[in-house]
Amino acid sequence: MASSLLIYCFYALVILVPMAFYLRSQKRRAARAREAAEKGKLFSEGPKAQHPHIDVTNCIGCQSCTAVCPEGDVLAMLGGKAVLVNGYKCIGHGLCAEACPVGAISMVMASPSMGAEMPYLTPKYETSVPNLFIAGELGGLALIRNAVNQGRDCIDTVANRVAALGAARSLPGVYDVLIIGAGPAGISASLRAMEKKLNYLTLERDEIGGTVAKYPRQKLVMTSPVEFPMYGKLKKTELSKEELLAFWNQVLRRADFKVRSGERVEDVRRGEEGIFTVVTNNGQYSSHAVVLALGRTGTPRKLGVKGEELPKVMYRLIEADHYINKRILVVGGGDSAIEAAMGLGFQKGNQVTLSYRKGSFSRIKERNAKRLEDCIRTGKVKVVLNSIPVEIKADAVILEVSGELREIPNDFVWIFAGGIPPNDFLKKIGVQFGMRDITLEASSEAQQAALERKQPAPA
């Protein structure tokens, strides 16, 4: 009898102890999820662009989605189901949709009210103007991977349509497609146009690489593999700015890349016969279709304060190591401002102050938040919250800090207040605005794969 009791006690311990540890870990996880959800309520306006949508009837609570997100607590587990707690942090990796084994997650766009200032696009990335397409961040989807995929997909649609024109396709002086912008989406579209043997031309107002070329040195720009036209799948899981630009140059050198730099597009007009006329600062071109790959940052947003026109005020940082032994003010509360402040803070002799108008940094990446804490602790960066620049002088900056004026000696100022998107230009050429409900390609593929996994194997 005693031996049987000992056996029962042993099995009870084997079962109950791991269960107790599991339940305690689940309780801690739920507490973190509730904390994240409370934090997310500070931004009750909801996600700004693409974000995960969870079908709770299919969710099995496996937690795969919460484990793979690089942006931290976008998703969490509550009541045994995945829930969206900080949708505003999502930038469209789509890894959660890919990781879900039952296809319960799809990536969707924000509600129409949140997307009122986003151009209307069909699932083929076509605007309200027939055969005028938008690829990349201008359409509301972040990430280089998305831009590459969209540029490729736009050209596939164009290739099918111009092929259907028959003899009407071959008009003198008319391109099959004009691609405006040579950033990630524009380069991908150009490479695909070469593959499809289209008569194309790419126009770029600045330098090849677009916004990527203006990123700080060694900035990590890609975190997942992507399929590039004329190359195949680039399998590296992490790419710096320099590595991506070098890769593009390598691919483009091997191809007949038809690009004209220094061409600023001023107007796009569609004639009665469906032929576009694209007017630039150097001339005009005609085409059957147009792909806008302009990016969304547009012109840097200015603060409108006295002294902002001084040459020491800048809006982009590329080479942090060019500045040493300087007194620097960085203005802004986003990832770009945080990364610039930290990069400058690590240079010899620099005294870096980061000014932000709010009381906390609530929308930056988790890894940047942790790095910033380290920089503050070690004195690399001094943060002044609830502060606004009111005047920039030749040798100082005046901040209003919680209602009081404070003068800080200063050599350089960087302002990261975002950019003014080219919405006025889009409206001028006839593009209508208002968010569409579009599912990202990655989500569709993930859901299809999940459905196939649920089906029995063929006999």
- In this structure, what token pair is assigned to residue 313? 């005020």
Nearest in space to 43 (alpha carbons), one of 69, 73, 16: 73
Distance set, CA 150 to CA 200, 230, 254 (Å) = 17, 15, 23
Which amino acid makes up residue 205? R
Residues paired with residue 448 on neighbouring β-strands, in sequence order: none
What is the C-alpha separation between 29 and 78, in angstroms, rounded? 9
pLDDT in tens, the chain (459 residues): 566 766 767 666 777 767 766 667 666 666 665 565 555 544 445 565 677 888 888 888 888 888 888 776 788 887 778 888 777 777 666 778 888 888 888 877 665 444 557 888 898 999 999 999 999 888 877 778 888 899 999 999 999 999 999 888 889 999 999 999 998 899 999 999 999 999 999 999 888 887 777 777 777 776 567 777 877 777 776 778 788 888 888 878 777 789 998 899 999 999 988 999 999 999 999 999 999 998 877 678 899 999 999 999 999 888 888 999 999 999 999 888 999 999 999 999 999 999 999 998 877 887 888 999 999 999 999 999 999 999 999 999 999 998 899 999 999 999 999 888 888 999 999 999 875 544 444 444 444 444 344 344 333
- Helix (H) / strand (E) containing 27: helix 2-40
Q: Which tokens is 220 given? A: 């990590």
Provide the token pair at 280: 């630039």
Query: Rounded distance, CA 48 to CA 91, Å?
Result: 9
The pairs formed by 348-351 with CB atoms below 8 angstroms and a separation of 24 or more are 348/324, 349/324, 349/325, 350/323, 350/324, 350/325, 350/326, 351/326, 351/327, 351/382
Asked if 418 and 124 count as a contact pair (C-beta separation under 8 A), the reply is no
Task: Tell me what pLDDT residue 32 has.
Answer: 60
pLDDT at position 455 is: 42
- Closest by CA position to 70, among listed 238, 296, 245: 238
76 within 8 A of 82, measured Cβ to Cβ? yes
pLDDT at res. 186: 93
Residue 132 CA: distances (Å) to CA of 126, 143, 144, 229, 270: 6, 22, 21, 21, 9
| C-beta neighbour count of 12 within 10 angstroms | 10
Distances, alpha carbon 213 to alpha carbons 101, 219, 258, 450, in Å: 37, 11, 19, 38
The candidate with the shortest Cα–Cα distance to 35, out of 105, 70, 86, 87, is 86
Domains defined along the chain, listed by start: 29-114+435-459 (3.30.70.20), 132-298+421-431 (3.50.50.60), 301-420 (3.50.50.60)
Q: Is the distance from CB of 320 to CB of 339 less than 8 angstroms?
A: no
The owner of tokens 């084994």 is 101
The rounded distance, in Å, linking the Cα atoms of 183 and 292 is: 11
Q: What's the DSSP call for residue 456?
A: P
* Backbone CA torsion sign across 96, 97, 99, 103: positive
For the full predicted model, state whether its pTM sits above 0.85.
no
Residues 290 and 130: their CA atoms lie apart, in Å, by 10
Other beta carbons within 10 Å of 306: 13
**Distance (Å, whole) CA 370 – CA 280:** 45
Strand order, beta sheet including 387-392 = 387-392, 396-401, 404-409
Q: Which helix (H) or strand (E) covers residue 26, if one does? A: helix 2-40
